[in-house]
Every structure is written in C-alpha cells, then in structure tokens.
Structure 1
Amino acid sequence: MEGVPQQFDHPEDEAQFRRPAAGVELYRAHIVRHAFEPHTHEAFGLGAIESGVERFRYRGADHLAPPDSLVLMNPDELHTGRAETDGGWRYRMIYLDPAVVERVSGERGWWFGQAVGHDAPRARRVGALLDRLWHEDEPLAFDSLLFALLAEFRTHARTAKPAPAEGALRFAPVVDYLRANLDRRLTLDELAAVAGLSPFHFLRRFKAQYHATPQQMLMALRLFEAKQRLARGEPAAQVAAAVGLADQAHLTRAFANRYGVTPARYQRQVTNAPSPARGRGLG
C-alpha cells in the first residue's frame, strides 16, 4: 500500500496489543505526537499512566491523566487521546468484555463514575500487574493475576449501572441500526427516520447525547468491528469491504488513527504472540 505509513510519524510513538484470552486484550504504549481520533473498544478500558500526562475527550469532557493515575473507562464510550506533555505519555491498559468482569469479580453492574482515578500506590500496583499479565504464559497464573487486577479496581467501581438517560433510550435503535449496516452508505435522512425526528434535529440531539456525530459513531463502530475481524485472522482487504471502507488503504489510515497501529501490525501482534492462556484460562 504505497504511501501508507507502517508506523507512527514520530519515531518514539509505539503501541502494542496482545489477546491472551477470549474477551481480554492487553495494550501498552508510549505516545508522543500521535492524536487518537474518536474510537471505542466496547469493553472496560482499565489501566495506569506510568509517565507523562494524557489528555482525552470522554463523555463530553476533557480529562487529564497524570503519572501514577488510573484510567477508568466504561464500555461503548467513544474517546480520544493525545499527549499533554512534551515527552508524551507511557501507559498500560487492559480491555475487558463486561462478561469477563462479571465472571471474574462475581458481581454484575460494574460501572465507573470517574474517568481518572488519582490513586498513586494503586496505579503502580496496577501497572505491575499489567506487566506480569503481558508476560504470563501459565493459564492458572494468568487467571489469578486477572483476579488480583480487578480487585485493585473494585474500590473505584460502582456495582449498579445508572439507568440510561432518555436520550440514550431514544437513540439506542439508531446505534443498533448503525451496527447492522456498517457496510452501507447511510444517509442522515435514513438515520433520522429510525429516530422519528427531522434530519438536523436528529443530528443535534444525537451529538448532544453521544458527544459525537452519527458519522463519527459509524466510523468508530466500523473500526471496532474491523479490529474483531482482524483478530480472527481475516484478510485486511476482506475486512475493509465488510465494514464499509473504500479499500485496504482506507482501512489502514483509519485504523492507525484510532488504535495507533496499522491493521497488519495489529493482526500480527494479536495472532502471533505466544498466548497459552488462550482458550484455557478464564475457566
């Protein structure tokens, strides 16, 4: 794909993924110049800032995550990310399907009210646990570490998810419609009809609810679906067509802008990394 970079523009920018078990994705990165476009992981995004400061947009507000702080993101929330300090920021994350959190914790309804937790000792413990999870290849040890990790986050978690706002209920069918039609060219009129509103009234209400336009939401959902397909080993060209992108080059640009790696590199990382825990852990 001529003209499409295989790495970040800045040589110090680096991001790596691993998928050691179903419903579990590990991530570590040092980001200096790259600015992540709105994206979603559709999973709990939990982690720790090791150095530097991250600025990210989440749920309609800007947040700063300084060194030795926790990052606490709920599923399905679009967010951005960029460095607030000249040297960038270094951090580790784990993305956990809600079903995994429920199975490991034994509790339903985990939810985080604050996006950043200012808890330096706990953040350092979380960082150490995430590093051990990255390198652990024994299924029993992996599950034990995951249990210990969620115990660290328990203090910051609520156990009753707040009731969805009226707007979320109204626009849930629209989001479902977007998910079901990722490969199509959708129109504002079409989405507004699903919501039962006039087109630009719908756009204004949708943006107020999700802090993103329908197009931004659609692209975030497309790239998340691309991520799942790449992790299953599907060819990038096939993935691009399945999620409604123009071609493989379009997929590469859009994927790198949101996740910090090219589709090819992401696929190598999550399918080729040693992971004996896969399919045997989280029993």
Structure 2
Amino acid sequence: MSKHHIDWIHHAPGSGRLERIEAYFSGNAYAMHRHDTYAIGSTLAGVQSFAYRGSERHSLPGGTIVLHPDEAHDGQAGTGEGFHYRMIYVEPALIQQILGGQALPFIKHGISTDPRLHAATRTLIQHMDSPMDTLEEQDALFDLAHALQACADKLAGHASKQHADYQAAERARAYIHSAMTDNISLDELARHSGRDRWSLSRDFRLLFGTSPYRYLTMRRLDLVKSLLMQGHTLVNAALAAGFSDQSHMSKHFVKTFGLTPLRWLNMHGKSSIIRP
C-alpha cells in the first residue's frame, strides 16, 4: 500500500471502445469539470467525495458511482486517508447502440446502491492489468446499458417522452468524427443528417448527452491526449487537433478533465518528455 501515499492513475490496456482506470488520490483530485461520457465505477477504499447537482456526495465501498454525461462534478478525499477507486468512461453512443435511440438513462443522485448496477459494473472494472476479451466486453456493456435503464430515475424529466431521430443524430455524430479538425457548422451537420438544425441539436443532446459543439470539442481533446502521450508538444497537439492555440486547448482541457494538461501528463509519468 506504500504507493498509495502518492497520487497515481493506471489505465487498463486494450479497449478502443471505453476507458478503464484505477487511481488513488490523497487529497484534492479534480477541479470542477464535465465530460461527455458516463463515469461509472466503485470506491475500493476510503471516502470519495464530490460535488454533484448542488450537493456533496460521499461514495463508500459497496456502492456504484454513476455520473451522467455533461454534469459538472469535482473529486477529493473525504478523509485524510485518501481514496482508491476504479472507473470506466462509457460513450453515450455505445449505450444508444444497445438501447436503440432512447433517452439516456439518468441516475439522479450520482450514487446508487442498486445491486443490479453494482453487478453490471463489477465485470468491467475487474482485471485492470489485462485487456478484456472483445465478446466479454460487449456482453458486459449490454448488461450495463440495461442495468442503467432498469435503475434510472423515471421522473428525470419530460425528455424521455420526446421523439428523437436516432439515425439522423448518428449521421451527424459520424460526420463530426470525419471532420473534427474543421470549422464545422450546425448547418453542415443538418445537411449531412437530413434533419433541420434545431431538431438535430435537440435530438443530439437527448441521445448523446451533450451538444454537437461539446461533442466535437471532446473528440479534439481525445486527440490531444493521444498526441501528448506520444510526446508531442502542447502547442503542436493543440493545433493538430483543431484548436486555435495552446491556451484555447488548455482552457477546454481543464474544464473537461479537472486537471491541467501538464498535471495530467505528470499523473501518467510523461511530463518529462514534453517540451514547452
């Protein structure tokens, strides 16, 4: 346990479909931020505290953390002992591929004691030192999507009663991936999706949990992280990913991940390879 006196993050190897991490923090972990994925996981030891939807939450071993896409939150140790946890980051598009274009499941309080969610999550956060078999991961994602749906707050809002054009929103999402370094407009997305721009914007938020612009920004940040891990400079990574400059990228990085790019690299033991 000696390594638990120093903050660390370990990324599980393998999957290109979802991110799996194990981490320990002794004090303040993340500033307020929001990302466009579900963050789902379990506290293994200590008290994992975070501000979420206007209240302070405290996760203990045995429960399941479920943070909805684009909901602001932070993270810190609830006691002087620090906290140890495992988390997966699941793109809403993966949930949509399983549920078929329904409103995203919403767990109101950010922490669930439902054993169905705990069981579905456990499969995905085990064996963090080795990749999951492809079929094992796909089966686990299927179980997780349906557990989320079964445990979701049925009174989260009227959005679940709205009709959304899933195929049009998916065409817009695919176009963003194909042109993410370009200056994309909502009119372009509308043309490629076959949906009028305001209906598309509403459907995109309902189905993928964030706006088209935020989704584009996140994909650019994913590219930035990949380039930084390969040793690219902050400036080059920012420009290659479609940001106007390093400052613009860094501002979005902190808002999204709650860490500066340099602290994020330091947590991964990579900061020494980055030149200013």
The reply to whether TM is greater than 0.5 is: yes
1:94 maps onto 2:90 in alignment: no
Provide the residue aligned with 1:46 in structure 2.
41
Q: Give the letter aligned to residue 21 of structure 2.
A: E
Instruction: Please give the residue correspondences for 1:15-164 in structure 2 after superposition, counting only pairs within 5 Å.
Output: 16-19=8-11, 21-23=13-15, 24-29=20-25, 30-31=27-28, 34-36=31-33, 38-40=34-36, 45-48=40-43, 50-51=46-47, 53-56=49-52, 65-68=57-60, 69-72=63-66, 77-82=69-74, 92-95=85-88, 116-118=111-113, 142-143=129-130, 157-158=143-144
TM-score, length basis structure 2: 0.58
Distance 1:178 1:19 in 2: 26
What percent of counterpart residues are identical?
14
Counterparts of 2:65 and 2:184, CA distance in 1? 34
Q: Which structure has the higher relative contact order (CA within 8 Å, separation 6+)?
A: 1
SS in 2 for 1:224: helix
Question: How far apart in 1 are the matches of 2:232 and 2:57?
Answer: 35
1:113, 1:158 within 8 Å by CA — same for their partners in 2? Answer: no
Where does residue 269 of structure 1 map in the other structure? 267
- For the residues of structure 2 that align with 1:264 and 1:84, how far apart are their CA atoms? 19
Q: CA deviation at 1:240?
A: 0.6
Q: Which residue identity does 2:59 align to in structure 1?
A: P
Label 1:116 to 1:198 Cα distance change in 2 as closer, same or farther (>3 A).
same
In structure 2, relative to structure 1, the CA distance for the partners of 1:96 and 1:33 (3 Å cut) is closer
Q: Is the 8 A contact 2:74 2:258 kept in 1?
A: no
Instruction: Report the count of equivalent residues.
Output: 219
**Between 216-225 and 65-74, the greater mean CA deviation after superposition:** 65-74
Instruction: Give, in whole Å, the separation in 2 of the partners of 1:63 and 1:167.
Output: 34
**Alpha carbons 1:231, 1:271 under 8 Å: kept:** no
Kept in 2: contact 1:18–1:26 (CA 8 A): yes
Contact 1:46–1:73 (Cα < 8 Å) also in 2? no
- Aligned residues: CA RMSD: 4.8
| SS of equivalent to 2:225 | helix
SS at match of 2:195: coil
Structure 1 unpaired stretches of 5+: 1-13, 99-108, 135-141, 274-283
Alignment TM-score, normalising by the size of structure 1: 0.57
CA distance in 2, matches of 1:90, 1:223: 27
Q: In the alignment, which residue of structure 1 is the partner of 2:152?
A: none
Unaligned runs of 5+ in 2: 1-5, 92-97, 99-104, 150-162, 272-276
Q: Secondary structure at the match of 1:66?
A: strand
1:191 deviation in Å?
0.9
Q: Distance in 1 between matches of 2:23 and 2:77?
A: 21
Q: Deviations over 1:197-232 (max 9, x none)?
A: 222232233233334221122112222222233223
Once the two structures are superposed, residues 41-66 of structure 1 have per-residue CA deviations (whole angstroms, 9 ceiling, x without a partner) of: 68x74232842643447xxxx99753
